[in-house]
Structure 1
């Protein structure tokens, strides 16, 4: 079974993430928020590190309930800074809280965080046709545009490279290699979701 090269460099959890989650179109606000926060926490680290800690993140961040995270207080921040199961970085923790508040504002304005994100591509994923990992960019004009708008709305820790990784993860961009067994599977799954 041919996978994207990066998926074979980690453990079984990395393979499962690649085979079932990465690149699949996501429309659920809570799961979108979860992926955004995990991608922010990955900055400077490997995705394997974040995957290994994902269960601890789930508990620490109250299942990534947007309203709950938006209301985290200083006591909760201290608790998170003492939690060895997650990434203990005050800037990243504070960014999660601020970003949760910003997501709530977007939901009020757009109806959902999903509506907001998907409007940048008019609801249709961008499908690339890369044969090698080296061809895949780390940022694009699209990630630059979304980053600029997110920052204008008050989001923190959202550089264009982080946002591009986020877009790949949530299926707004399909960057599975054309040789990967998931390349067409992801497109077919997205088409089926859009029909519902």
Structure 2
């Protein structure tokens, strides 16, 4: 049951909403802008409406994966594994030849269902970082780190802290090119077209 839940979480996370929404508009999202299937690239190429749709779906697919796993009786490290599997599905989708997005919205969706309090304390920090810097990448990475710090500060179980640390590490890994551009002063700010 546990391994099946991990597989289902991966497959659910792998649903490439950004690619499908863009394709419906006649655009191959992986060939425009950053080539990313996430909401930020959709915003830059297709506008706010499609981006909101993609962001909502990416959050929900992470959350629903955890919710279903919990409904099947999974808890503790297995639940953390489901969260990571859903994000890996988004980042390396079997439907897109194992390419995909950066996993930020899907990670947040899993966090909402893993620990609502940690999610609600993390979100304002990530959003404020984005608003102050106008760098989505900076807000994403700061948000990932904040979730880990908050989970430790609240005395959450080790499995949850390690899960959030793993998700934060994935966020930093998928943003490695953004980190390079930030260092070189070449990162695009929120609102700039792709």
- Tell me if both proteins adopt one fold, taking TM over 0.5 as the criterion: no
TM (norm. structure 1) is 0.34
More helix by share: 2
TM (norm. structure 2) is 0.34
